[in-house]
């Protein structure tokens, strides 16, 4: 079936769904009269919710609120879209949300919101035992006799004519079996008053309800059902988490906190859920920041589907993009140029590095540029004495006093030439932003900052983000894994003035990678030491539980480059040939070709284009399904995942370093770590291309 045909079929099903609900309304209306819905308009609201039981929803009516003597919950609706704690109101005056308050006739009615939130919190607490994330449990207030569709904090405010389209449009989060399990659990938590039991579903003739009052519009329900049908199944992992993950999502922290764990353990998933949890319980801004430029687009896209009501208050950005925007808002002029900064360093190396004692340690100027970027400027050092006294975490080469003096002279020469040319490098952006932020706090302030892939930031970057929120409760959350650091250097959180004792959480269960894939990836880095912000680890052995045991690793060994490239193209063409309309974009939308260098990227883009295989560079990828193979570097793939990952010439970079210097070993560790990151992007299939050594 074509993609267009699939869309038409879904549209037809949505239309039939809406008409079926309309036909079922009469019997639902009659049944609703048996419950405590005093006013006729309230009875109609109950009838609409009962109507949904024909499509796999369950409705609990007039339930006891545990922990109270007489308070009750009007309704709890459980269905494919999640769990909805519902309070029905019959107010003469029109309700409205204004300035963070629930209003009616110029009077605040916030106590009603507080009661509903407290009921919802009780449901959250008990459903956390099942692993259900708080984002799948929604408080809803329905106003009989009014037209309304808005939010107040995390509470959805709906009129009686808006409630059905709103619920039907929710993406599918729960399976039928899960709906039954959740309903059974909530029936025990919220016991019933003396009232007749509801049937699992209403059964009635096809003509029932045809003369009922027009309480909802069929076309609106049809459109809502179609939106839900077109939603991708990613909402499933948005709904259920491991109990440890749920606990981290809901935890109250009285200062900075950290989430760590090996690759594939769901650290970013927890971070996104944490952002939604905090946003629904506050009114301030939340910053979700990472190092890579492309990752915020993907994370922001996921979050808009995870928590659309709070998406406007959670800002997704890269660290340097945020810093440059902040400086621009305060009229701080910058002239950032990677090329001009590199030219300044090349001249500084010619003057102060090439003939110095530095070449005894490593003759490559790139090594010493990294020393400046990650150790000296990246840590904000301002004097030779400071540089002499620091531990160079992550740098395996030992520097004597003469080497540090020479490296400092090289740094000063570089700064002189850079300043004379009026150019800034990326470290300057962060240093200047930190200085400005200390004088002029962000306005409006952020209530929370969540930092993903924190291991790739410099010390100055972490200091900058810490300065935004300080040690405020639930203010700073650091997420990352030192074993996945793809840049040289390192630091300790204590260097940034951050203490997380008692507020750290470690995830141990891998949910992403098939067992053969993670075993192959771990073999690459199992003997390599790594820094993890608070401690040094002597090797890469990690404790990890695996949940996904299928999957495949294919090792494609070729005699020459032509055969290698032919094998890659054939593998991708075979994947495309096995594609289906579900998802509509086919299997290529779940595939990625990852390379070690930009030069390889250019080569494989030409190769795939010539073969007629659609390609999308990771720089343009925003997380939306698209019929194209994603193409990018190992570094650019950080934080992403794909069902099928292809690594052409995967061993070329690791075999290129043959020296025996400490700096050679240091480079080799970084390269292996980058390869490990690329391998662990794969869920179902990992394709490893290589060329026989004697024919390279």
What is the predicted pLDDT for the residue at 538?
78
* CA neighbor of 244 nearest in space, from 126, 134, 128: 128
What is the predicted pLDDT for the residue at 210?
40
Which residue, chain included where needed, has tokens 């662990």?
680
What is the predicted pLDDT for the residue at 47?
75
Non-local CB neighbours of 309 within 8 Å, separated by 6+ positions? 151, 154, 156, 280
Q: What does the alpha-carbon distance between residue 608 and residue 595 come to, in Å, rounded to a whole number? A: 14
Sites in the chain below the pLDDT cut of 50: 1-5, 35-38, 195-198, 202-214, 218, 225, 229-230, 232-233, 581-585, 695-696
Cα 495 to chain centroid, rounded: 27
* CA neighbor of 109 nearest in space, from 121, 122, 91: 91
What is the predicted pLDDT for the residue at 111?
93
What is the predicted pLDDT for the residue at 75?
85
User: Structure tokens of 305?
Assistant: 């589907």
Q: What does the alpha-carbon distance between residue 615 and residue 413 come to, in Å, rounded to a whole number? A: 43
Q: What does the alpha-carbon distance between residue 617 and residue 593 come to, in Å, rounded to a whole number? A: 10
Give the number of C-alpha atoms closer than 13 A to the C-alpha of residue 118, restricted to the C-beta side: 13
* CA neighbor of 604 nearest in space, from 660, 564, 641, 643: 564
Q: What does the alpha-carbon distance between residue 149 and residue 156 come to, in Å, rounded to a whole number? A: 7
Which residue, chain included where needed, has tokens 């150019």?
423
**DSSP structure string for 348-399:** HHHHHTTTSTHHHH---HHHHHHIIIIIITTTT--SHHHHHHS--TT--S--
What is the predicted pLDDT for the residue at 222?
52
Bridge partners for 553 per DSSP: 686
Note the maximum CA span of the chain.
94
Let me know if 72 is exposed, middle or buried by CB neighbors in 10 A (0-12, 13-18, 19+). middle
What is the predicted pLDDT for the residue at 173?
82
What is the predicted pLDDT for the residue at 7?
52
Answer for the pair 362, 349: CB distance below 8 angstroms, yes or no.
Answer: no
Q: What does the alpha-carbon distance between residue 276 and residue 124 come to, in Å, rounded to a whole number? A: 14
What is the predicted pLDDT for the residue at 206?
37
Q: What is the pTM of this model?
A: 0.82
Helix (H) or strand (E) holding 459: helix 459-469
Q: Where do the H-state alpha helices sit in 240-337?
A: 243-250, 267-280, 295-306, 319-329
Quote the DSSP letter at residue 495: G
**DSSP structure string for 590-611:** GEEEEESSHHHHHHHHHHHHHT
């Amino acid at each position: 079936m074509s993609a267009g045909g699939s869309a038409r079929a879904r549209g037809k099903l949505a239309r039939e769904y809406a008409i079926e609900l309309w036909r079922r309304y009469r019997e639902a209306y009659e049944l609703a009269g048996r419950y405590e819905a005093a006013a006729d308009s309230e009875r109609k609201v109950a009838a609409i919710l009962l109507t949904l039981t024909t499509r796999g929803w369950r409705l609990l009516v007039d339930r006891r609120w545990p922990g109270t003597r007489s308070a009750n919950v009007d309704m709890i609706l459980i269905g494919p879209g999640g769990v909805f704690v519902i309070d029905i109101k019959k107010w003469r005056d029109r309700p409205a949300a204004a300035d963070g308050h629930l209003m009616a006739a110029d009077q605040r009615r916030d106590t009603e919101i507080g009661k509903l939130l407290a009921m919802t919190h009780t449901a959250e607490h008990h459903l956390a035992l099942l692993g259900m994330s708080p984002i799948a449990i929604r408080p809803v207030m329905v106003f009989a006799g009014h037209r309304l569709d808005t939010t107040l904090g995390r509470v959805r405010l709906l009129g009686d004519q808006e409630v059905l389209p709103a619920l039907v449009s929710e993406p599918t989060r729960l399976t039928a079996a899960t709906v039954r399990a959740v309903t059974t659990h909530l029936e025990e938590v919220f016991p019933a008053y003396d009232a007749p039991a509801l049937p699992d579903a209403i059964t009635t003739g096809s003509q029932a309800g045809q003369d009922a009052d027009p309480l909802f519009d069929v076309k609106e329900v049809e459109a809502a059902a179609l939106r839900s049908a077109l939603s991708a199944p990613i909402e499933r992992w948005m709904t259920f988490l491991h109990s440890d993950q749920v606990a981290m999502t809901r935890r109250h922290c009285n200062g900075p906190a950290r989430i760590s764990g090996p690759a594939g353990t769901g650290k970013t998933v927890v971070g996104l859920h944490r952002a939604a949890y905090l946003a629904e319980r506050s009114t301030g801004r939340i910053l979700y920041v990472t190092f890579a430029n492309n990752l915020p687009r993907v994370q922001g896209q996921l979050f808009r589907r995870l928590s659309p009501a709070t998406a406007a208050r959670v800002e997704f950005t890269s660290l340097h993009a945020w810093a440059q925007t902040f400086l621009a808002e305060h009229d701080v002029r910058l002239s950032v140029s990677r090329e001009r900064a590199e030219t300044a360093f090349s001249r500084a190396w010619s003057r102060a590095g090439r003939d110095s004692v530095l070449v005894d340690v490593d003759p490559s100027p790139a090594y010493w540029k990294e020393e400046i970027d990650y150790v000296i400027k990246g840590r904000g050092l301002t004097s030779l004495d400071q540089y002499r006294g620091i531990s160079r975490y992550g740098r395996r080469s030992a520097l004597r006093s003469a080497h540090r003096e020479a490296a400092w002279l090289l740094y000063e020469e570089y700064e002189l030439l850079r300043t004379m040319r009026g150019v800034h490098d990326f470290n300057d952006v962060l240093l200047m932003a930190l200085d400005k932020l200390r004088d002029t706090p962000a306005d409006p302030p952020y209530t929370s900052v969540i930092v993903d892939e924190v291991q790739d930031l410099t010390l100055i970057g972490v200091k900058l983000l810490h300065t935004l929120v300080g040690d405020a409760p639930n203010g700073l959350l650091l997420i990352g894994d030192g074993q996945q650091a793809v840049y040289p250097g390192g630091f300790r959180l204590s260097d940034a003035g951050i203490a997380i004792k008692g507020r750290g959480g470690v995830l141990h269960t891998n949910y992403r990678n098939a067992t053969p894939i993670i075993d192959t990836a771990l073999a690459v880095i199992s003997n390599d030491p790594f820094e993890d912000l608070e401690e040094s680890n002597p090797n890469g052995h990690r404790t990890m539980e695996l949940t996904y045991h299928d999957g495949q690793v294919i090792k494609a060994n070729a005699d020459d480059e032509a055969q290698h490239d032919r094998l890659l193209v054939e593998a991708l063409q075979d994947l495309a040939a096995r594609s289906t309309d579900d998802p509509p974009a086919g299997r290529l939308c779940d595939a990625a070709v990852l390379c070690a260098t930009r030069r390889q990227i250019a080569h494989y883009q030409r190769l795939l284009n010539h073969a007629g295989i659609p390609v999308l560079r990771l720089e343009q990828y925003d997380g939306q399904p698209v019929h194209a193979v994603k193409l990018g570097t190992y570094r650019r793939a950080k934080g992403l995942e794909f069902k099928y990952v292809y690594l052409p010439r995967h061993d070329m970079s690791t075999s290129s370093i043959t020296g025996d210097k400490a700096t050679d070993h240091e480079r080799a560790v970084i390269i292996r770590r980058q390869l490990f990151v690329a391998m662990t992007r794969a869920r179902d299939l990992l394709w490893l291309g290589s060329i026989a050594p004697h024919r390279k």
